[in-house]
């Protein structure tokens, strides 16, 4: 009980936070009127807080100089301490409130299914207060609005106007097929007549990989276009043809033997999956938690 009274006596002689905040705001703004506007208070309320603070310390803290309010020598002594207290408490309040804010994330369906979702359990173990709201997408939005608090996992070369972007996984392409098809694909020439699965009508991925093998024509192959990589890889695993895929996204299928690589060549395209977000979202603790975790997961894949 004696200790309790001692603590109460110590804290009883501390100035109020409201008074310190009013003092800092008046000094920063240079006027009682502007401080009142910033704090959504009346000018009389600001004046009262300053008067209480001056009574607490027993000395004037502000003076009018050339039509502007400036701190007295005593006020200049108090100012850095008051600023530090106010800023620290603001930071704590922001962190405590935003820890439970929902982090909005848009992500490609294939990336979510093949890479992100199987790993999310470890994310929630590390950051139990962070809540993710995930929206899937098949195609990238035509325009990214940097004024919206929204993070994305996008595919490309890392250049989106007014957005920060950090590479998570570099694209590394190689053909894949069902294990039962390996005997039919002993050399590149064996691809002729096989069905090649594509996710774009321009056959971009296959053309890039075949070009790395000095093959420029696709006329000798059969072609099947689907709208998702996930569908192409599922079809390949069922023995319906040969797909091409990113080695990072197919890691589990390759390790478990559902898919195999008939050829050794892996093409690094210069593209990859990026976490992209506007500057306004950069300080969200949930985003920083997600980014830290994604770095760990990507580094584990690279190793």
Domain ranges across the chain: 17-97, 101-302
Q: How far apart are CA 284 and CA 303, in angstroms?
A: 29
Nearest alpha carbon to residue 289 among 117, 159, 105:
105
Q: What pLDDT is recorded for position 96?
A: 60
For residue 290, give the nearest of 268, 280, 275, 302 by alpha carbon: 275
Side-chain half-sphere of 280: how many Cα atoms within 13 Å? 7
Within 8 A by CB and 6+ apart from 103, the residues are 130, 131, 132, 133, 151, 284, 286, 287, 290
pLDDT reported for residue 48: 92
**Cross-strand partners of 104:** 133
Tell me which residues of the chain have a pLDDT lower than 70.
1-12, 93-101, 303
**Cβ 121 vs Cβ 73: under 8 Å:** no
pLDDT tens for 67-113 read 788 899 999 999 999 999 888 887 776 666 555 568 899 999 889 99
pLDDT for the residue numbered 77: 93
CATH of 17-97, one of 2.40.50.220, 1.10.10.10, 3.40.980.10, 3.40.50.300: 1.10.10.10
User: What's the pLDDT tens digit per position in 49-63?
Assistant: 999 999 999 999 999
CATH class of the domain defined by 101-302? alpha beta
Euclidean distance between CA atoms 15 and 28, whole angstroms: 19
């Amino acid at each position: 009980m004696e200790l309790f009274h001692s603590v109460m006596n110590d804290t009883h002689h501390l100035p109020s936070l409201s008074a310190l905040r009013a003092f800092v705001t008046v000094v920063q703004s240079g006027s009682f009127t502007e401080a009142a506007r910033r704090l959504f208070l009346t000018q009389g309320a600001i004046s009262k807080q300053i008067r209480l603070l001056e009574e607490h310390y027993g000395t004037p803290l502000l003076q009018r100089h050339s039509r502007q309010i400036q701190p007295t020598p005593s006020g200049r002594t108090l100012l850095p301490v008051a600023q530090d207290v106010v800023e620290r408490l603001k930071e704590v309040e922001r962190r405590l409130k935003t820890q439970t804010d929902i982090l909005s994330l848009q992500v490609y369906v294939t990336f979510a299914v093949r890479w992100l979702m199987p790993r999310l359990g470890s994310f929630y173990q590390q950051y139990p207060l962070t809540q993710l709201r995930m929206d899937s997408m098949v195609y990238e939005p035509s325009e990214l609005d940097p004024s919206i608090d929204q993070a994305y996992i996008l595919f490309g070369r890392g250049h989106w106007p007014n957005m920060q972007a950090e590479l998570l996984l570099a694209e590394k392409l190689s053909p894949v097929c069902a294990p039962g098809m390996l005997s039919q694909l002993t050399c590149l020439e064996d691809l002729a007549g096989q069905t090649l699965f594509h996710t774009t009508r321009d056959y971009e991925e296959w053309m890039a990989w075949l070009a790395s093998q000095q093959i420029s024509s696709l006329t000798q192959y059969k072609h099947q276009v689907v709208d998702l990589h996930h569908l192409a890889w599922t079809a390949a695993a069922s023995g319906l043809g040969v797909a091409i895929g990113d080695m990072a996204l197919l890691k589990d299928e390759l390790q478990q033997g559902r898919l195999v690589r008939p050829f050794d060549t892996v093409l690094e395209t210069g593209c990859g999956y990026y976490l992209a977000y506007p500057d306004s979202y950069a300080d969200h603790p949930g985003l920083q938690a997600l980014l830290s975790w994604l770095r760990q997961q990507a580094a584990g894949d690279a190793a």
